Amino acid sequence: MARSNKNLSVYDRKTIPNAKTLRFGIVVSEWNPEITENLYKGAEAALLDCGAIPGNILRWNVPGSFELTFGCKKMIQQNNPDAVIAMGSVIRGETKHFDFVCSATAQGIKDLNVISDTPVIFCVLTDDNLQQAKDRSGGKFGNKGTEAAIAAIKMALL
């Protein structure tokens, strides 16, 4: 593990630009909802803490992580947000399905960042087991949703 026992979700609000004028899209996978709902809550709380207006945070749900790329693309086309956060959770199973979904999702989000002027933040947990996902969605390693929100603010103003 690259960041053993470190909570990376703690941020200094004074160093984060004010998000009052920004519009955010958050596309959330419905698969592993215990995890993705916690990611969403972390992101929403951080955006609001940094000045985002509740009405400027738009949420869409998609069936799974594989569908995040299309959901983010449509969010950009239809709502023109300043940044989009793609949230999902893929937990390794007994087949290679995990590898295909993780790879396709990462590549899809990367492709959106290459072809679009709207930053798309990758907030997809790719864990070996449920406990690792819990640890990264509000557990001992913080909340990757919080980290994604801070990244979205910074990238929107880049």
- Which is the catalytic residue, given 3, 6, 97, 110? 97
> Helix 68-79 crosses helix 97-115 at what angle (to 10 degrees)?
20
Assess whether 7 carries a catalytic annotation. no
Positions annotated as catalytic residues are 97
